[in-house]
Structure formats: structure tokens, C-alpha cells
Amino acid sequence: MIKLVARAERRSEPAPSGTANTRARAIAALPFTGLALALLLLLPAAPVAAPVRAAAVEPLADARAATVEITSTIEGTDRVGMAGSGAVVDLERGLVLTNAHVVVGAQRARVRTSGGAQLAATVLAEAPCDDLAVLRLESVPDDLRAFVVDGSRGVRTGDRVTALGYPVRDDGSRAPDATPTAGEVQAPLAADRAARIPTSGPPLGSMVEHSAGLIPGNSGGPLLDADGWLVGINTLAGSQSLAGTGFSVPVSRIAELLPELAAGRGVLDVGWSLVPPRDPLYADLVPSRDRKAYAVTVQETPGLWVSAVDDGSAAAGQLERGDYLTAIAGQPVPDEFAVCEALRAHRGETVQVEGRYLGSAARYDTRPGTSFRVEVSIPG
């Protein structure tokens, strides 16, 4: 049954547990659709409104009403960033849970609800090494619903699950409504297999491995169990030997991180957004005067391009968009796996970050490609 919270003005009915939570029918058996080999393109939220029991004939409509489409924008440009989905988790505060990679380099996003409302949202906080982020809506429509996050909910091998999201269609358009895909849990906490998938993203921990198909645009959408409870956030799709396999951040981990994120505090978030140097989405953002130095730098030294730096963050004033990161605390960082390992190893410390000036070369009156070494404090 779909675990949802409705707005206060809706008809209410106390749940058996005495909380404001209610359930609706299972939807796992409905037919289903699902960023590919790379990453695709949650604080238990206390119920803030009276409960509503979803109509038995329309359970999917209720789940869709708590699932939104997200399109981020790349800061400093008019370009569209990543396309993903999200799960509303708090109506009172207008909080939406999604993947961090959906809002990489962005501070704002556009959100579309199943009712067709177009909403503005800000990126409230991120946990990049868990690929989670929370957005805050600037307004909350009356017909919006919210999933309840219960960290005690788990799944077992063979359990039926349903994923919801707004996939990107072949012509580049988005599905008009949240699309369901159904499958079974293959492993409830699949740490090893998820870690072996070669991506440019962070080293994700234990994930729910399942056969509900995931395709670009589904990132950040909810994974539901056969009783309609939120049991994960869809994050990664496998290919080749793992084709047809999806990986979702489990609700137990989401419940651990959500109180911090909902309070606007990032988790291991230094305030930079990092992308692979050859990512075509960002390549043409390198200033034309720096492209030769950029090409030489990428060829000489493995590293990551800084696509954005948040104002007021630990990295602000030290790095700028376009700079090239090569090492943290003396440890090479050729990918985000290495970055997250370094951040976890030096949590709460001030460390030296090394790289090459590209985006900030003019500010420091240096030639593009000049090496730098700065100190950055890693949040505890």
C-alpha cells in the first residue's frame, strides 16, 4: 500500500498505529518502464497533515501525486542540466528527495507535478557521496501528496517492487505522467555488485538491487514495495552483464541522512560539483581562452573538472568553476570514487587540495593550467 501524507484539508482517517500515516493498495503488479551504465538520467518526515486513505481504485494516482519531474539548470547559463524525478517527502516544508547527480552544478530546478503544476525549487542540501539531495519547493499545490519515510521498512530477495519516474523518451521529451515499472528484488543490500559498475559517480554503498527497469529520467524517483511503502530512491542502471538491473538507495540509509538534508546541512558536501573532464554536457562551458590548457591538463593528469562551487561553502574562495582537481590530502582523485574515499577518510579535517587553475586563472593572474595547492575544510 502506498504510504502517503495528504494536505490537512483532505478527508482524514487515523491509521491503526495512531500516527497520521495511511496506506493504499499495492501497485507492484502494474506494467512498468525505467543515465545508463553511468549514473542515471531521504529524517523520517513527521506527518504534518491529517491522513487520507487513497481510493482503492486509484492507488497509482496517489503515488503519482507524490512523484515529480525535475529538470535542473546549470548555474550561470540558460542551459538545461540533468533530467530526473523526485519523491515528495514533506508537504509542510515542500521538500522533495532526489539524486544528487540530478542537480549537479545547480542551485535551482524546475519541478512539474502529476497535476501539471510547474514549480520553482531550490537545492536545499546534498549528500553527494550517497547520491542524495533535497529540494525545497517555492510553493505547494493543494493536490500534492508526500511519501512517508520509514527507515525500518526493508525488502527481501524475491519481493515485488515498483519504480516510478518521468523517463526521457526517444525524441527527448518527458513522459506526461510518472511511469511505473515493476520487478523483483534480486538482493536487498547489494554492496559488491553496485560497486563494480564502472561509473563516473560516487562509490555508492549498499543498494537495493532489483529488476524494475530504469532508464534516463528515472533517477531520483521512488521505489515502492508491494504494500506501497517507500523502500528506496532509484539511482543507477546496469548494462552488459547487469543489463535490466536497477539499483536504489535503501530507505534505511535515506532515513539516516534526511534529517540533516532537510535542515539544510549537507553530508560530506564540500560545496563543489565535480564532473568527468570529457563529459559532453559540460565540455563547452570551459572558456574558449582556456580550452588548449584544459586539453593539455586533462591529457597529462587524471582528475575532475569543477563544474560549480556553492556560495558560502568550504570550497568557495578557493576554487571556481572550470578549475581542475587532481588530489585531496595527497591522494590522487581520478574519479568521484576516489574523492569520496578521501572525504570520508578526512571527515572534519582541513586538507590540502591540489589541481590546476583554469576557471580561476584570470582571478589569480596566472596562466591557465598553473598548478595550485589550497586548504579546504571537510565537514564533519
The set of catalytic residues is 101, 131, 219
Burial 216-233 (b: 16+ CB within 10 A, else e): bbbbbbbbbbbbbbbbbb
Asked if residues 162 and 150 have their Cβ atoms less than 8 Å apart, the reply is no
Of the candidates 41, 298, 336, 105, the residue with the CA atom closest to the CA atom of residue 199: 336
The burial of 355, by beta-carbon neighbours within 10 Å (0-12 exposed, 13-18 middle, 19 or more buried), is given as: buried
CA distance linking residue 20 with residue 47, whole number of Å: 6
DSSP secondary structure letters along 332-367: E-SSHHHHHHHHHHTTT-EEEEEEE-STTTTTTT--
CB atoms within 10 A of CB 206: 18
Asked if residues 325 and 277 have their Cβ atoms less than 8 Å apart, the reply is no
Asked if residues 353 and 319 have their Cβ atoms less than 8 Å apart, the reply is yes
CA distance linking residue 165 with residue 161, whole number of Å: 14
DSSP secondary structure letters along 102-165: GGTT-SEEEEE-TT--EEEEEEEEEEGGGTEEEEEES---TT--EEPP-TT----TT-EEEEEE
Q: What cell does 192 get?
A: 559488491
CB atoms within 10 A of CB 97: 29
The CA distances from residue 160 to 87, 181, 217, in Å, are 19, 11, 22
